[in-house]
């Protein structure tokens, strides 16, 4: 009888505790990818191109060109499952370079050297054989990969890994092979030189180099070697791009770096500005505006010049960051005023005689005219 009473008392005491602990269990489910496989015939070989859509986000695009660089892919998938995004991947039997046969002859090339005809030619020669038809086949394949990128990405994140000492921040130091490819460079002597960022975007460079102290290269989009790499292509097209790269197998380091890059990309995406591409016609002169130059509407600051790229002898291109409360319309004109005694400044003016249609930042290019002394 005493045992029965004691058992009843213990059950009365413990039951609420057990019930209470079960109420607060929360399960967070990751985004599961929607996978699409595209079979592409390259010469006599069939390659698999795969895309993975996590959630509904498409403007943040991850791309893996070298199929043997799995540390980078594993790091990206952790972010994709948690926050969503879009991944493009070339399946190549875990091998870096792509081999194919065309008219009974074997060819090989680096898939990160195929985004210009010049780069394709250099890569085919380097790997043993070239022909006009092979160049055309690789060029078509590169265009198919580019077509997979959703329109107007906020950033392309290239997923790469390297081997000890083969490619590093040291490659861009004065006197080394890639010296001219870097507009700016930050080296942290306490970090492994093989663990690096390379970006086309000056804001990302500043955040990752100056704030986070990662080894970081800001690509010289105007003067870097035209080697057919995706970074050069993005630099020429004014697409925000970043390559996150560590040695093979350094998963913890890669995870830390790509998470930091992601944080800063999202900060820019969610900022109070809208980014537009611009083109400045120099009209016989050679004027180069500076980054961070204010854009004025009357006396009100409405934006700034975010980047400047010398496209050719006739054009300068880059990005404008406009305040969200000042979106651009087709009847808005931009003028860069040049004065011998003052710093050049940029003004926006609205022409009320023209109908204004709101411009799409993803597809519009703003023309800027140069004016003389004001």
**8 A C-beta contact, residue 179 and residue 172:** yes
Please tell me the distance from the alpha carbon of residue 203 to that of residue 273, in angstroms, as a whole number. Answer: 13
pLDDT, position 1? 45
Question: Taking the domain 33-269, which CATH number applies?
Answer: 3.40.630
Please report how many Cα atoms fall inside a 13 Å half-sphere around the Cα of residue 330, on the Cβ side.
Answer: 8
Which residues lie across from 53 on neighbouring strands?
34, 86
Furthest-apart CA pair in the chain: how many Å?
107
Domain boundaries, the chain: 33-269, 273-371
Digit-by-digit pLDDT tens for the chain (374 residues) are: 444 444 444 444 444 443 443 444 444 568 999 999 999 999 999 999 999 999 988 889 999 999 999 999 999 999 999 999 999 999 999 999 999 999 999 999 999 999 999 999 999 999 999 999 999 999 999 999 999 999 878 899 999 999 998 899 999 999 999 999 999 999 999 999 999 999 999 889 999 998 899 999 999 998 999 999 999 999 998 899 999 999 999 999 999 999 999 999 887 776 678 888 888 876 545 666 777 788 999 988 898 887 777 655 567 888 888 888 898 999 999 998 877 666 778 899 999 999 999 898 878 899 998 876 54
Question: In angstroms, what CA-CA distances link 114 with 101, 111, 155, 185, 275?
Answer: 17, 6, 20, 26, 28
Q: Taking the CA atoms of the chain, what radius of gyration do you get in angstroms?
A: 26
Q: Where are the alpha helices (DSSP H) in 206-318?
A: 230-236, 251-269
Three-state DSSP class for 47? strand
pLDDT, position 369? 87
294-297 contacts, C-beta under 8 A, 24 or more apart: 294/345, 294/346, 295/320, 295/322, 295/334, 295/346, 295/347, 295/348, 296/345, 296/346, 296/347, 296/348, 297/326, 297/347, 297/348, 297/349, 297/350
Does the pTM surpass 0.95? The reply is no
**8 A C-beta contact, residue 281 and residue 248:** no
Backbone angles phi, psi at 103, to 5 degrees: 50, 45
**Four-residue CA torsion sign, 94, 147, 40, 113:** negative
**8 A C-beta contact, residue 162 and residue 201:** no
Q: Please give the helix or strand (H or E) that residue 49 lies within, else none.
A: strand 45-54
Q: Please give the helix or strand (H or E) that residue 275 lies within, else none.
A: strand 273-281
**8 A C-beta contact, residue 228 and residue 122:** yes
Please tell me the distance from the alpha carbon of residue 244 to that of residue 254, in angstroms, as a whole number. Answer: 8
Please tell me the distance from the alpha carbon of residue 121 to that of residue 142, in angstroms, as a whole number. Answer: 13
Torsion of CA 325, 326, 329, 331, to 10 degrees: 140
Going by their DSSP bridges, the two strands 182-186 and 155-162 should be labelled as unpaired
Q: Where are the alpha helices (DSSP H) in 46-151?
A: 70-83, 117-126, 132-147
């Amino acid at each position: 009888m005493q045992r029965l009473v004691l058992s009843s008392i213990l059950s009365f005491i413990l039951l609420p505790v057990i019930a209470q602990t079960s109420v607060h269990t929360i399960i967070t489910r990751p985004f599961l990818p929607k996978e699409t496989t595209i079979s592409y015939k390259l010469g006599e070989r069939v390659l698999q191109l795969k895309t993975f859509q996590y959630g509904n986000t498409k403007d943040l695009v991850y791309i893996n060109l070298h199929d043997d660089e799995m540390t980078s892919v594993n790091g990206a998938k952790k972010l994709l499952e948690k926050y969503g995004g879009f991944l493009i991947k070339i399946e190549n039997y875990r091998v870096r370079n792509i081999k194919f046969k065309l008219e009974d002859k074997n060819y090989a090339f680096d898939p990160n050297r195929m985004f210009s005809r010049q780069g394709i030619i250099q890569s085919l020669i380097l790997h043993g054989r070239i022909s006009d038809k092979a160049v055309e086949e690789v060029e078509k394949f590169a265009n198919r990969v580019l077509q997979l990128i959703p329109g107007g990405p906020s950033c392309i994140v290239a997923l790469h890994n390297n081997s000890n000492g083969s490619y590093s921040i040291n490659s861009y130091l004065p006197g080394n092979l890639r010296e001219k490819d870097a507009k700016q460079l930050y080296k942290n002597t306490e970090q492994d030189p093989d663990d690096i960022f390379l970006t086309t975007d000056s804001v990302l460079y500043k955040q990752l180099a100056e704030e986070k102290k990662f080894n970081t290269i800001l690509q010289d989009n105007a003067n870097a070697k035209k080697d057919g790499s995706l970074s050069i292509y993005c630099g020429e097209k004014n697409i925000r791009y970043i390559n996150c790269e560590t040695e093979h197998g350094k998963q913890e380091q890669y995870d830390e770096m790509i998470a930091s890059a992601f944080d800063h990309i999202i900060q820019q995406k969610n900022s109070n500005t809208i980014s537009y591409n611009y083109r400045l016609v120099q009209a016989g002169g050679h004027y180069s505006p500076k980054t961070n130059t204010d854009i004025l509407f009357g006396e009100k600051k409405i934006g700034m010049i975010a980047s400047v790229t010398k496209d050719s002898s006739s054009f300068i291109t880059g990005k404008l960051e406009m305040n969200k409360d000042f979106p651009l319309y087709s009847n808005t004109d931009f003028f860069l005023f040049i004065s011998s005694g003052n710093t050049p400044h940029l003004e926006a003016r609205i022409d009320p005689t023209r109908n204004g249609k709101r411009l799409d930042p993803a597809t519009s290019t703003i023309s800027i005219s140069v004016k003389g002394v004001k």
